Chain A
């Protein structure tokens, strides 16, 4: 409970820990990009995949992306927490080992065992008429449980460390509403706290869901309620994917002031917006169930209100905050602030298009069309990932600014073209999760969807080239700056 407010530079061991996490996640991410391009190539009728193969790849792509990006987010939040509090390095290494073990098991279960129930494995799909062996279902469940445990260990420890340092009320900046005499909690700590609590709640719901799945796997005669499990699976999935984005925002609040020379102020508006996010984020997932008409109307309405409430205030204060950071600050647009700012732009665009889809009246014709992957690829691929790469560049103190910027430009060009193909597909009612469009009974739609998929595969490859250029910049830039007086 010290009053220590100044930032402390993380020890070399902390840096190594976070760098190990993030480079592992970057490797997983690149592999998942390759799987994504493969899927678009199949939909574009360029390569021919069997249905079981396509859906196994789809399952791995979804789980791998959500899982590794969320894990990367936890590592970034851990880094922020380590600047202000004392999270445990040991807990974080244990979490890392658990995550990697889970990821390897998942790769085996999907790419070798061909487990193909989709990332959300809607109950009872994993257990009925499976095109894969039963061990692959069990291995997937256990792999996901290992990952969930990894997240839980890391997040609980971050929460413990922050609470020990600031106390429960102050970590959410509630003191701003009473007396304002003490120093406000750092902006990034507020967001780290929001991420930790929402992430923990989501992970716990996920763990409970997976326990039921495991039970069903051991005792196939057991029956669960499909609607209940749909709710819990989406609560888990939606929340962690959403929290991943906010973990990225957390490091922007933390690091951007280093470039502009201005503190990121924690005003009452900022506190209100992020506390609203913490509240609403837990109910926003109802927007996944709009087309389940059996769900009570009140929950559907709550879903729309919570979707607006979790996305809009946080975005609004962040954009305003970023604007007041940058405006007339004399900021030099080096790689990191450029990547951060572009990342926020992708988040905003992805957020707006998500809010459109979270509107029930629109969802009726957008649900399960390509509009859905369009919006989340926007905030991940040209949003969160750019923030992640900016952070990694800063963490590794790479000196290859120019090459990294070339990579960034290529990624932005490829990324936006890639997501545009999804948006156009969504507006044309192209269904998502189709291994092939050739079965659609409208020739013009088949042609259109196939064409868009081809362009998507091409643009995705451009993005991949940009990402590889960035990776080269990390290696070269590190070698360049690795002199003894650094």
Chain B
């Protein structure tokens, strides 16, 4: 009671009421945002399905190699449209970034290519056309020319 009275002396009670609403709204908003966005992470995306095609990707300074069933498949990599493709991405030397750009030049999916680890990225190419892989992790002098082409048919 005394505390409430002394509070009134230095700030109007509305300030404290506003602050309480502000805090509650903030926490509720954050919780909702976390809940909604965490459900949309790339790791759980289409996790329950079996991929139609598996491609092993090896990056090194400064090129990408695509392999299917242990065989190098050359460039450009040809993939079917509207099928679930799993890229198993790794690196032979340093860290690279495996970033897939769609035919309009928009980044649609990515993962890191790390030495000693394999990252599994699942992508469904909705539109046929020419996609490009750009290296998105700085990996040395020729980083900007480390590229590959994917032809989706």
Quick one: which of A128, A316, A362, A369 contacts B22, CB cutoff 8 A?
A316
Residues of A within 8 A of B30 (CB): 308, 312
B79 within 8 A of A: no
Q: Are B43 and A297 in contact (CB under 8 A)?
A: yes
Say what secondary structure dominates the interface of chain B: mixed
Interface residues of A in 224-261 (CB under 8 A from B): 225-227, 230
Quick one: which of B112, B120, B141, B147 contacts A52, CB cutoff 8 A?
B141
Count: A-B pairs, CB below 8 Å: 152
Instruction: Please judge, given known A-B contacts A269-B19, A434-B144, A441-B132, whether A227 and B41 are in contact too, CB under 8 Å.
Output: no
Instruction: Please judge, given known A-B contacts A55-B141, A294-B114, whether A304 and B134 are in contact too, CB under 8 Å.
Output: no
A155 within 8 A of B: no
Q: Are A124 and B112 in contact (CB under 8 A)?
A: no
A-B contact pairs, 15 of them (CB 8 A): A51-B141, A52-B141, A269-B23, A291-B110, A292-B119, A293-B43, A294-B119, A305-B34, A360-B42, A365-B110, A367-B110, A431-B134, A432-B136, A434-B143, A441-B147
Q: Are A291 and B23 in contact (CB under 8 A)?
A: no
Residues of A within 8 A of B141 (CB): 51-52, 55, 116, 131
Quick one: which of B33, B114, B120 contacts A226, CB cutoff 8 A?
B114
* CA of A258 to CA of B106, assembled, Å: 50
Q: Are A225 and B116 in contact (CB under 8 A)?
A: yes
B114-149 interface code vs A (CB 8 A; 1 in, 0 out): 111111110000000000101011111111110101
Q: Are B114 and A362 in contact (CB under 8 A)?
A: no
A31 within 8 A of B: no
Quick one: which of A129, A320, A441 contacts B93, CB cutoff 8 A?
A129
Interface residues of A in 111-136 (CB under 8 A from B): 116, 118, 122, 124-125, 128-131
Quick one: which of B11, B116, B132, B139 contacts A324, CB cutoff 8 A?
B11
Q: Which residues of A contact B (CB under 8 A)?
A: 51-52, 55, 116, 118, 122, 124-125, 128-131, 225-227, 230, 269, 291-294, 297, 300-301, 304-305, 308, 312, 316, 320, 324, 359-362, 364-365, 367-369, 428-429, 431-436, 439-442, 444-445
* CA of A100 to CA of B94, assembled, Å: 31
**Chain B residue, CB-CB nearest to A369:** B107
Instruction: Please judge, given known A-B contacts A52-B141, A294-B114, whether A431 and B136 are in contact too, CB under 8 Å.
Output: yes
Q: Are B37 and A361 in contact (CB under 8 A)?
A: yes
**Chain A residue, CB-CB nearest to B90:** A294
Residues of B within 8 A of A291 (CB): 97, 110-112, 119
Interface centre among A116, A292, A431, A442 (most CB of B within 10 A): A431
B78 within 8 A of A: no
Instruction: Please judge, given known A-B contacts A227-B114, A360-B37, whether A122 and B43 are in contact too, CB under 8 Å.
Output: no
B21-51 interface code vs A (CB 8 A; 1 in, 0 out): 0110010001001100110111100000000
**Chain A residue, CB-CB nearest to B104:** A442
B1 within 8 A of A: no
Quick one: which of A292, A305, A364, A442 contacts B117, CB cutoff 8 A?
A292
Q: Are A316 and B26 in contact (CB under 8 A)?
A: yes
5 more CB-based (< 8 A) A-B contacts, given A361-B38, A442-B105: A122-B95, A122-B138, A297-B43, A359-B37, A431-B136
Q: Output the least CB separation between B50 and chain A (Å).
A: 18
Instruction: Please judge, given known A-B contacts A300-B43, A429-B106, A436-B144, whether A360 and B114 are in contact too, CB under 8 Å.
Output: no
Q: Output the least CB separation between B20 and chain A (Å).
A: 9
Q: Are A368 and B110 in contact (CB under 8 A)?
A: yes
B109 within 8 A of A: yes
Q: Output the least CB separation between A159 and chain B (Å).
A: 30
Interface residues of B in 64-123 (CB under 8 A from A): 93-95, 97, 99, 101, 104-112, 114-121
* CA of A268 to CA of B142, assembled, Å: 53
* CA of A341 to CA of B19, assembled, Å: 20
Quick one: which of B34, B93, B95, B147 contacts A304, CB cutoff 8 A?
B34
Residues of A within 8 A of B95 (CB): 122, 125, 226, 230
Q: Output the least CB separation between B44 and chain A (Å).
A: 8
Q: Output the least CB separation between B53 and chain A (Å).
A: 18
B15 within 8 A of A: yes
Q: Are B117 and A227 in contact (CB under 8 A)?
A: yes
**Chain B residue, CB-CB nearest to A367:** B110
Residues of B within 8 A of A369 (CB): 107, 136
Residues of B within 8 A of A439 (CB): 144-145, 147
